[in-house]
Chain A
Amino acid sequence: MLTRDSRDPAARPRLLLSLLAIALLWPGIHFSELDLGVLLAGDSQSEIGHFVSAFWPPAHGEEFIQLLVQATLQTLAIATAGMALALLLAVPASLLASRALSLSAASRAGRPSPWGQLLRWPVRGVLIFLRSVPEIVWALLFVRAVGLGPTAGVLAIAITYSGMLGKVYAEIFESVDQRPAHALLQAGSGRLAAFAYGILPNVAAELLSYTVYRWECAIRASVVMGFVGAGGLGQQMDLSLRMFASGEVASLLLTFLMLVLLADQLSRLLRWRLA
């Protein structure tokens, strides 16, 4: 029996939220037509088995390796150039969209003035638009516009990723303690200086880790966009799949693995240096 002394006011909302989450999960499974039984059916198992068994040995001919190295470099270049372009847009947009630079928030207990909030909405809208169209769609568009090749991939990544980076950066800026920046604003500093002294030291590690993670995602995205002709490993993968050259597919997959591993290690190294 719950007495007044031992009752937790948060217990009922927590229970209700848990029930709600379960209630929402069921239609999700139902409407996505998820049926795990298919995996156990005999013919699909042998089909997958055939495909996978041909993976060994991975292709390692000299000519193919050369092709692979070139495609890998191209993929890395697409991802890096795309990220660099995306950052050019994402950093100013995140500063504009975030409450972290609000001068009025410093003297209103953290709530920006209505005008400030109103002005942040268009920037948020732009960021939403940029990331709501998947990069593969942008890639298809740009392949039409600038022709087959890496340029389309770079532009597609730049556009979608600026939207994602801008949104998440803005949220990271707002998620840390705002008091250091507010104290600086209250001592007469400019917005950007207060940001650099009050917010940046707290967010640097998270920004870096998210940026490297997004770079890793950009590598994968550039692979997918290769299928629609935007160059790199993906284009090579498309060709190999069409020719049923399973050995080549295996080598390509191994290369992906290496790249993701590399990104992971890079992130760890940078975070360790920054800590």
Chain B
Amino acid sequence: MTLHLSGASLTHSNGVHALQSLDLHIGASEQVAIIGPSGAGKSSLLNLLATALRPSSGDLQVLGEHAWQLSARQRQRLRARIGLVHQAPPLPPRQRVVTAVLAGKIGQWGLGKSLLNLMHPLDIPGARAALARLDLSDKLFAQCQQLSGGQLQRVGIARVLYQAPEVLLADEPVSAMDPVLAEHTLSVLSRHAREHNVTLVASLHAVELALAHFSRIIGLRDGQILFDLPAREVDRDLLDKLYANEQLQFSPVAPAPLSVQIPRC
């Protein structure tokens, strides 16, 4: 069992109950998508699984270890085996892409090697290979501030691919990409996970992408799991129930006409 949540709740410091007593088991090399409306707790759940946030109550086991019962040093060692792709990758604007990608491994390198790598990139071929899989190798020596949102997301993914973790968690990894690129990027992620026996958990707001690329779908609503089913058993009724929004339906103002917006990349 790679990821194991039992009775885990999460309350943010501002008092918002993000997750309420979740029970979740995800086995080794499973590929799971988390879907749900905005504010359902998808990011919180992924941060919880990544040991980036501590559950307010309940227990979390990752790779067979009770993450929050470890010492800080042991937990850092465990965290080096978990990769988290952020929706808006937090990268310093002036850092070069090559450094940002190679930073994926500083959890495994010592301090000396990390600092040396800052002076001169130690594994340029490795960084280039990771970027090439996402069709971004021409930006190897660009600064992060010169990249668009979608390109930054791909740099964030390349960093995690370079990190080569045993558990790969992705928080809306393709939200700023156009449909074709999103499709391609997700298939890169799931192929990487299959080839290296990596457990993959991704949150997605595009339901079609989730159904197409993942075998198991978890529907999250108001911090609780509404359903946890194989992709083929997820039907229209379930999705309508998941995304139902009373406030929008009964709003007195007529909804503005939807305009299809292709996200920038």
Contacts A109-B12, A187-B82, A202-B92 given; does A196 touch B76 at CB 8 Å: no
What is the 8 Å Cβ interface bit string for chain B, positions 51-87, against chain A (1 contact, 0 not)? 1111000000000000000001000111111111010
Answer yes or no: B91 CB below 8 A from chain A CBs. Answer: yes
B187 at the interface (CB under 8 A from A): no
The smallest beta-carbon distance between A229 and chain B, in angstroms, is 43
Chain B residues near A103 (CB, 8 Å)?
72, 76
Task: Report if A240 contacts B (CB, 8 A).
Answer: no
A108 within 8 A of B: yes
The CA-CA distance from A186 to B50 in the complex, in Å, is: 8
Q: Residue B223 at the A interface, CB < 8 A?
A: no
Interface residues of A in 202-255 (CB under 8 A from B): 202, 204
B90–A197 touching, CB < 8 Å? no
Contact B53 A107 (CB under 8 A): yes
Q: How far is the CA of A183 from the CA of B107 in the complex (A)?
A: 11
**Is A182's CB within 8 Å of the partner chain B?**
yes
Indicate the member of B83, B86, B107 with the most A CB atoms within 10 Å.
Answer: B107
Cβ of A131 to closest chain B Cβ, rounded Å:
29
Question: Does B263 touch A at the CB level, under 8 Å?
Answer: no
| Closest B residue by C-beta to A186 | B52
Q: Which of B206-263 contact A (CB under 8 A)?
A: none
In contact, A188 and B72 (Cβ under 8 angstroms)? no
Stretch touching chain A among B93-101, B122-130, B197-205? B93-101
Q: Is B132 an interface residue (CB 8 A)?
A: no
Interface size in chain B (residues, C-beta < 8 A): 37
Please, how many angstroms separate the alpha-carbon atoms of A111 and B84 in the complex?
Answer: 21
Q: Is the CB of A187 within 8 A of B83?
A: yes
Query: Among the listed stretches B1-9, B31-39, B110-118, which one makes contact with chain A, having 4 or more residues with CB under 8 Å of it?
Result: B110-118
Q: Do the beta carbons of B81 and A188 come within 8 Å of each other?
A: yes
Contact assessment for B52 and A189 in the assembled complex, using a CB-CB cutoff below 8 Å: no
B255 CB to closest chain A CB (Å) equals 22
The reply on B20 being an interface residue by CB < 8 A is no
Select one of A107, A192, A196 contacting B52, CB under 8 A: A107
In the complex where A183-B90, A184-B103, A187-B163 touch, is A196 in contact with B114 (Cβ < 8 A)? yes
A118–chain B nearest beta-carbon distance, Å:
16
Instruction: Please report whether the interface of chain A is mostly helix, strand, loop or mixed according to DSSP.
Output: helix
B160 to chain A, nearest CB (A): 8
Is the pair B114, A193 in contact by a Cβ cutoff of 8 Å?
yes
Residues in B with CB closer than 8 Å to A190 are 76, 106-107, 111, 114
A149 at the interface (CB under 8 A from B): no
Do residues A197 and B118 form an inter-chain contact, with CB atoms below 8 A? yes
Is A166 close to B, CB under 8 A? Answer: no
Chain B, residue nearest A201 (CB) = B92
Q: How far is the CA of A197 from the CA of B50 in the complex (A)?
A: 20
Decide yes or no whether A112 CB sits under 8 A from chain B.
Answer: no
Docked Cα-Cα span, A184 to B108, in Å, equals 11
A264: interface (CB < 8 Å): no
Contact A188–B114 (Cβ < 8 Å): no
**Inter-chain contact B13/A198, CB cutoff 8 Å:** no
Known contacts A193-B114, A197-B106: A107-B51 contact under CB 8 Å: yes
Residues from chain B with a CB closer than 8 A to the CB of A107 are: 51-54
A104's nearest neighbour on chain B, judged by CB, is B72
With contacts A179-B90, A201-B94 known, what are 9 further pairs, Cβ within 8 A? A103-B76, A106-B52, A108-B13, A183-B86, A186-B51, A187-B79, A190-B106, A197-B118, A198-B92
Binding site for B on A (CB under 8 A): 103, 106-109, 111, 177, 179-180, 182-190, 192-194, 196-199, 201-202, 204
Query: Can you list 14 contacts pairing A with B, beta carbon distance less than 8 Å?
Result: A103-B72, A180-B91, A180-B92, A187-B80, A187-B104, A188-B77, A189-B106, A189-B114, A190-B76, A193-B115, A194-B106, A196-B114, A199-B92, A201-B92
Interface residues of B (CB under 8 A from A): 12-13, 50-54, 72, 76-84, 86, 89-95, 99, 103-104, 106-109, 111, 114-115, 118, 163
